[in-house]
Structures are given as C-alpha cells and as structure tokens.
C-alpha cells in the first residue's frame, strides 16, 4: 500500500491573545497521496492559510497547534527540531504565495535567489547550481532565461515573478508543493497561464500539491480532490467530480448557487446568496457552524452537539452535515424565480472616438528628459441606453478605469466626444459640472475597505452626499432620506451611527451602493464592484444592484474582468485592450463565435466551476505591452495566436478598422471572414 505524503488528523489550531483563545482551525483532517493535487476551498477567514502555515510549522508567534497531528512522509512534524525543520523546508515541502512581488527579495538578483535554494539543501558547485536554476527557469517557460537570471524582481511582470516563485519552489524537487492563492493578484489570462504551468509541472515532477483558493473554478481545473472549509472546519471533502457533481453540504451548495454560471443571466436564473454572515471565531454557534445561515437547519438536531465528518454517497466523499439523507440535493433553490427582462430605453450616453493621453514629464522644475505620452484610451466609441447594463471588459492597463474617470469628469478627454443626455461632457471637469449632472453620474468603487472614510460615521457620509446634491432642504429631511437609503440597501437603520471599521466588507459595499444611489443617478459606473468580496457576499451585492437598477431604470457601466459576472449582469459587452475597443456587441454575440482573438483568450481563461462544461484551450503568450510604447498596427498583434492567418503583415502595420459582423456586433480585427466563421465556441 502507498503511504500518503501528507496526513493531517484532527488538527486544531488556536491563536492566543492576551485575553482569549481564538480557535482558527478545528478538527481538520486530510490526506494527500503521492502525485495527487488536493484543493482547499473557502472564503476569507475560514482558516485555509493557517492550515498551510501549520504544515510548515511557520505559524505566527501567538498561534499554536492545540491538538491533532500532521504527518509528512510518515514523520510527525511536531517532533522535528529546528535543524530538521529547516532541512525539510524548501527541499521537501515548498510553498508559493499570493503576492509574487512581495515574496521575492527586492535587492537580490533572481539568479541568486534561485541558486540559494540549492546551496542550502545540496552540496553543489556554483556552475551546477546555475545550470540547474537556468534549466528550471526554462521549465517555467520564461522568455530569455539568461537575462531573467540577471534581473531584479521589479524588472519582471507579476506573471513572470510568480513563475520565478514556482521555479524556486520546485528547484529542490520537493515532494509537496503548497500553493496559497497563487493567482489571486494576477490578470485572468496570466492566471490561466500559471494554472496550465502548475498542472504540467505537477505531472512532470510527480509533485503532490495542496492548492488553496477561494475560486471553485480554479480548483476544478487543477485538483484531483477537494476539501471545502467553512469557519475553521472542513465541511465537505472528496474526489473533485463527486463534490462538484453531487454536492452534499449546504454550504458548498450555497457557494455554487451564489456563483453566476456561464450561460445564466440575471433574468432567467437569479443568484441565491447565502444569508447572514460568517460567525466571528469566538462567537461560533453550537453544533453546526453553518447552522444559522442554513435553510435546512433543524432546531434541536443541528445545534445540539459537535458534528463529525460523515460519509456522503461514497467512502471517500465526506460531509459535516447530519441531514445528508433528509435533504433533496437536486431541488431548485427557492428564491430562484425568473425576473421579467427590463425594457431598454433611449440612448443616454454616447461616446465617439474618445481619446485620453497623459503626458509623463520627468521633472516639473527642471524638465530634463522629453515628456512621454501614455495613450490610456485611444479611439473609443460606444453608447449606453437607459436601464441598460453595458460591461467594459479587459485586463489591467487596458484603459477601462481611465475611461470611467473621463466620464466622471475627474480627467479631461484629449480628443473625441462624450455626450450624456445630449450634453457634451468630455471637456467639463467635475468642478465645472452642474450639481444635477454630477448627481446623475455616480460611481461604485472596487475596494469596500477603502470606499468609506474611516473618520466619519456611515450616516454622516450619506448625509454629506445628499447635501452636496441639494437633495432635501432640512437636516431632519436628509436624516430621514438617509435612513430610507439604508432600508433600500437592506441594512438596519442602527448602522447610521456606526463607524466604517465596525462593518464587514459586504456591508461597506452596501453603503457604497447607497451613497451612489443617493442622488437618484441616471448612470452608475461600477468599477469591479465585486472583485474584493467573497463569493457568497458577491451574490448578495449583485442581486441588490440588479434590483436597484431594475426599479430605478438606471444605466450601468460595469467595469469588470470577471466574464461570468459580465455574462450574468450585462446586456451588452465592450472588450478593451490597450486603450482600444477590440470587440463590442450584445452579451450573446460576445460569448458566441466569431470572436476577436483576445475575447477568445479571455473566455478560455475563465476558470469554470462546472464539471459538465468543456473548454477549448487558448493560452496567451507574452505580456501586455506598455501603454507608453504600444506596438504598431493592431494593438493585440504581439500576443495574437491567429496572426498567421492574415497575409502581408497587415497586423504589424495597420490598425484594423472596426468591422460590423452583425447588427450591433463589431470587432477590430484583420482576420479574414472565413477564419472568423470557422471559429468554434470556446465553452461547450
């Protein structure tokens, strides 16, 4: 019989503050066999990273394993002394972290940092270490490996840095690789590349993996088995197909239901958010931790005693639920009733060949170097109608946020026009705009932890907005309006006097929404409104936004990189790359062939949490060019995998014109019609 590489049994970890003991992980068990990839899923605060650090015995000083055992390769990790521990770290267990930039030493060259691993664990000569490091840099498919070895971390892009971290982890050929949210900080197409790489290398070196992520899709793509964690406990574990195919825990089910699946939209199948909030670590309920949020909860049964992992269907599929047998797992969620689609109104926003260039000067006082131009937005034309949701999709640096700033009046356009309700606004800075216009165009921000001023109470921030927009005439009137806004975003009125730090991320985002809707806006720009939130919270905010928008007939510009969300929420989609719109059309047109090659790559990069869906592989090579020196011709030509289909080097020399393929569907591409017509769907 094969021995497991890692065997964790009934692990309990607590953090000890001066006053109390806070249990972070409780009764956690899992085994990883040689060559196997185990996924660990859960929302923030569920204890998944704590488990990872406990395996390497690198918990913070206040953290301690209170019971249970971790056996690595047959040895109990708790019995190892400091010397044995340092020997195992890096050589037998290696780790890859969330932020690649922060995990590399900024003052050491890549080559030094790589070879160091070999010098620590093996007696190798300098030449041999260099050769092996170089070999590994090649293995993680980095261009120009010799130059990479001589570079400092900051000279590499985020994706390249993460590849270096992976190379460093694999260099000593470890038996177990722990990946803690390795792609969270990266763009989708870069993420897809990293996931491919990890999968391949895992197979090639036979490394076992523990893959930690909040993203169910990523886990499905990379892992053989999965463990779902909730509030410090594993709630469901089993082979990936069984867990994803036949969910046997209400929390896992809730996660799936609160995620927009490709092919659904807000009208036909609304999301079902998980009600309530994650309990605080020292306020966990009796019995089932998920009990208070569970729709199958039975008083007296679920909250009576500690619940163990129970078999669910097969011997390897376990679930921490007493009512596995009693629940009808195939029933459709209760509130998932279809909505009537909104009627789209007249044109509200018309943008015509809008440009925004920045001058980056070297120094103001002594302009030594010549100023350089950043072409953040280059020739953008689109329109948005009343009550319509238009999504703007693209990776970081594509110009979508700059576009939003121009529309809001925070930046002035360099060229082109933008008219809002027949008024030209592209040259009006915000201090020249009328109060009416300002309140008509509002914004919902990305980071809920940053969107409220920490110095003022929630209520006063909303009242200030009302004051600015000349809404209400007396203080009492505004006070009442503020309370009504809280009702609108489904928060208790008592929140008016709370300070932002007392609110959770989702609650803060609700206040952000309330503030944006305070001036009865006609257009809302939502900049990645969900990206910083947990899946179950995302669903609730998504539903809130949808309903508010439906009732107020507000136009929404949704800026996002999450194509599942875009498909779910929007009526039309605009795909941007390096300041250009490369494709636009209705949501159906965008998600069906023919695609722009970039759209195709974006679609292929979505991690799908659906066992039935099949995805065609399109992995983008290379990096997004700098907006300071965009390539000549087609902006996408440096990374396009279909470029060979265009003759005469057209792509390198001529910016493609916008081609109308169908009513409302246009792409900026030189590809001949027959190539476009021959495209097959990315997802089937």
Partner 1 sequence: MLNFLIRRLGVMALTMICLTFMVFYLVNLEPNLRKLAISQTEMHASDEHIESWLTRNGYRRAFIERYAAWIGVWPKKPNIDTETGKPVSRFSYCSEPAESVFAGVIQGDFGCSTKFKTKVAEKMLPALRATGLLMFWVMVTMVPVALFFGILSGMREGSKLDRTLSVVSIVTTSTPEYVSGVVLTIIFGTWLGWLNGSAASATGDGITFYNFTLPVITPAIYGMGYIARMTRASMIEVMTAQYIRTARLKGLGFYAVVVKHALRNALIAPFTVIMLLFPWLLTGVVIVEVMFRYQGFGLALVEAAGNNDIDLMLACSLVSVVLVLATQLISDVGYAWLNPRIRVQ
Partner 2 sequence: MEPLSAFEIIRQVLVQFTSVWISLIVLFAFSLGFKRKLGLYGFVVETGTGFTGVLILGFWLFTAIFASRISPFDPLGQIVSMKDALPGTIEPISGLPYLFGGDKLARDVFSRMVFGSRIVLIIAPLATLLALSVGIMLGLPAGYFGKRIDSVLSFLANLILAFPIILLFYLLVSPGILETPIPYALAGVFFLFPILLLVTLFWSGYRSHPLQLGIRLVLTLLVGGWLFATFVFDRDPFHILRVSPSTLNIFAAVALASGPGIFRIVRGLTLDIKTREYVQAAQTRGETPWYIMLWEILPNARGPLIVDACLRIGYTTILIGALGYFGLGMPPESPDWGTAIKESSRLLRAFVHPALPPALAMMSFVLGLNLLADALREQSLKD
Interacting span for partner 2 (CB under 8 A) from 123-131, 199-207, 324-332, 450-458: 450-458
Helix 188-205 to helix 158-170 angle (10° resolution) is 10
d(CA 224, CA 237) in angstroms, rounded, equals 11
| Binding flag, residue 502, partner 2 (CB under 8 A) | no
Least separation in angstroms between residue 511's CB and partner 2 is 11
**String of b and e for 442-453 (b: at least 16 CB within 10 Å)?**
bbbbbbbeebbe
Least separation in angstroms between residue 89's CB and partner 1 is 4
Token reading at 88: 């195992």
The string of DSSP codes covering 225-245 is EEEEEETTEEEEEEEHHHHHH
| Binding flag, residue 476, partner 2 (CB under 8 A) | no
Instruction: Select 263 or 472, whichever has its Cβ closest to partner 2.
Output: 472
| Binding flag, residue 108, partner 1 (CB under 8 A) | yes
Interacting span for partner 2 (CB under 8 A) from 253-261, 285-293, 454-462, 550-558: 454-462
Which residue(s) pair with 38 in the sheet? 210, 225
State the binding partner of 665 from partner 2, partner 1, none, CB within 5 to 8 A by kind. none
Three-state secondary-structure class, residue 474? coil
Q: Is the dihedral of CA 373, 374, 379, 380 positive or negative?
A: negative
- 653 near 574, Cβ under 8 Å? no
| Binding flag, residue 277, partner 1 (CB under 8 A) | no
Question: Among 552, 548, 555, which Cα is nearest to 348's?
Answer: 555
State the binding partner of 667 from partner 1, partner 2, none, CB within 5 to 8 A by kind. none
Cα dihedral 638→642→647→650 (10° resolution): -40
Least separation in angstroms between residue 113's CB and partner 1 is 8
State the binding partner of 225 from partner 1, partner 2, none, CB within 5 to 8 A by kind. none
Interacting span for partner 2 (CB under 8 A) from 171-179, 445-453, 587-595, 662-670: 445-453
Least separation in angstroms between residue 453's CB and partner 2 is 4
The distance between the two most distant Cα atoms of the chain, rounded to a whole number of Å, is 79
Instruction: Select 455 or 680, whichever has its Cβ closest to partner 2.
Output: 455
| Binding flag, residue 572, partner 2 (CB under 8 A) | no
Rg of the chain over all Cα atoms, to the nearest angstrom: 27
State the binding partner of 617 from partner 2, partner 1, none, CB within 5 to 8 A by kind. none
Q: DSSP state, 280? A: P
Least separation in angstroms between residue 125's CB and partner 1 is 19
| Binding flag, residue 596, partner 1 (CB under 8 A) | no
List, edge to edge, every strand of the sheet that includes 21-32.
Answer: 21-32, 6-16, 63-72, 75-76
Entry field: residues in the chain: 684
Instruction: Select 532 or 609, whichever has its Cβ closest to partner 2.
Output: 532
| Binding flag, residue 495, partner 2 (CB under 8 A) | no
d(CA 116, CA 136) in angstroms, rounded, equals 14
| Binding flag, residue 435, partner 2 (CB under 8 A) | yes
| Binding flag, residue 368, partner 2 (CB under 8 A) | no
Count CB atoms within 10 A of the CB of residue 436: 12
Binding positions for partner 1, rule: CB under 8 A = 56, 58, 82, 86-91, 94-95, 97, 99, 102-108, 116-117, 120-121, 152, 154-155, 165, 168, 362-363, 365-366, 368-369
Binding positions for partner 2, rule: CB under 8 A = 363-365, 408-410, 430-431, 433, 435, 438-439, 441-443, 445-447, 450-456, 465, 467-469, 501, 512, 515, 519
């Amino acid at each position: 019989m094969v021995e497991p590489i890692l065997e964790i049994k009934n692990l309990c970890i607590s953090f000890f503050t001066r006053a109390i003991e806070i249990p972070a992980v409780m009764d956690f068990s899992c085994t990883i066999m040689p060559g196997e990839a185990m996924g660990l899923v859960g929302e923030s605060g569920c204890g998944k990273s704590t488990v990872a650090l406990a395996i390497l015995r690198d918990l913070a000083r206040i953290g301690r394993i209170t019971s249970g055992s971790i056996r690595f390769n047959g040895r109990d990790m708790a019995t190892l002394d400091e010397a044995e521990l340092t020997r195992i770290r890096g050589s037998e267990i290696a780790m890859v972290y969330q932020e690649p930039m922060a995990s590399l030493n900024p003052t050491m060259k890549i080559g030094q940092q790589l070879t160091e691993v070999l010098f620590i664990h093996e007696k190798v000569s300098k030449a041999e270490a260099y050769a092996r490091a170089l070999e590994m840099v090649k293995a993680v498919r980095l261009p120009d490996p010799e130059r990479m070895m001589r570079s400092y971390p900051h000279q590499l892009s985020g994706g390249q840095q993460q590849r270096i971290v992976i190379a460093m982890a694999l260099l000593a050929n470890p038996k177990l690789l722990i990946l803690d949210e390795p792609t969270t900080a990266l763009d989708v197409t870069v993420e897809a590349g990293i996931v491919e790489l990890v999968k391949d290398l895992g197979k090639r070196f036979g490394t076992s993996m523990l893959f930690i992520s909040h993203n169910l899709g990523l886990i499905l793509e990379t892992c053989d088995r999965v463990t779902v964690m909730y509030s410090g406990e594993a709630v469901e574990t089993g082979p990936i197909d069984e867990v994803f195919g036949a969910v046997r825990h209400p929390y896992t089910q809730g996660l799936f239901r609160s995620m927009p699946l490709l092919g659904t939209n807000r009208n036909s199948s609304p999301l079902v958010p998980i009600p309530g909030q994650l309990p605080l670590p020292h306020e966990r309920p009796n019995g089932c931790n998920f009990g208070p949020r569970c729709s199958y909860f039975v008083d007296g049964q679920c909250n009576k005693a500690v619940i163990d992992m129970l078999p669910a269907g097969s011997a390897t599929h376990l679930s921490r639920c007493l009512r596995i047998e009693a629940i009808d797992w195939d029933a459709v969620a209760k509130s998932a009733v279809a909505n009537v689609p909104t009627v789209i109104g007249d044109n509200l926003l018309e943008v015509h060949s809008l440009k925004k260039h920045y001058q980056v000067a070297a120094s103001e006082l002594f302009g030594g170097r010549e100023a350089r131009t950043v072409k953040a937005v280059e020739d953008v034309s689109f329109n948005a109608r009343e009550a319509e949701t238009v999504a703007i999709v693209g990776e970081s640096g594509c110009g979508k946020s700059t576009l939003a700033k121009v529309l809001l009046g925070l930046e002035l356009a360099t060229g082109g026009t933008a008219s809002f309700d027949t008024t030209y606004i592209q040259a009006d800075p915000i201090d020249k705009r009328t109060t009416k216009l300002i309140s008509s165009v509002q914004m919902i921000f990305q980071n809920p932890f940053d969107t409220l001023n920490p110095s003022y109470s929630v209520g006063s921030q909303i009242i200030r907005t009302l004051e600015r927009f000349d809404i209400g005439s007396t203080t009492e009137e505004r006070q009442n309006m503020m309370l009504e806004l809280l009702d609108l975003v489904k928060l208790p009125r008592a929140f008016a006097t709370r300070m932002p730090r007392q609110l959770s991320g989702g609650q803060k985002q609700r206040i952000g929404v309330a503030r944006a809707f305070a001036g009865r806006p006609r257009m809302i720009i939502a900049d990645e409104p969900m990206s910083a939130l947990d899946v179950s919270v995302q669903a609730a905010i998504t539903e809130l936004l949808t309903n508010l928008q439906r009732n107020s007939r507000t136009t929404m510009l949704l800026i996002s990189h999450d194509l599942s969300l875009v498909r779910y929420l929007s009526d039309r989609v605009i795909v941007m790359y390096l300041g250009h719109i490369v494709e636009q059309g209705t949501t159906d047109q965008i998600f069906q062939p023919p695609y722009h090659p970039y759209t195709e790559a974006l679609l292929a990069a979505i991690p799908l949490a659906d066992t039935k869906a099949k995805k065609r592989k399109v992995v983008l090579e290379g990096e997004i060019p700098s907006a300071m020196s965009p390539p000549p011709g087609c902006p996408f030509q440096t990374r396009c995998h279909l470029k060979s289909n265009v003759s005469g080097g057209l792509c390198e020399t001529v910016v493609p014109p916008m081609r109308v393929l169908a009513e409302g569907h246009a792409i900026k591409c030189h590809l001949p019609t027959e190539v476009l017509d021959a495209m097959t769907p990315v997802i089937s």
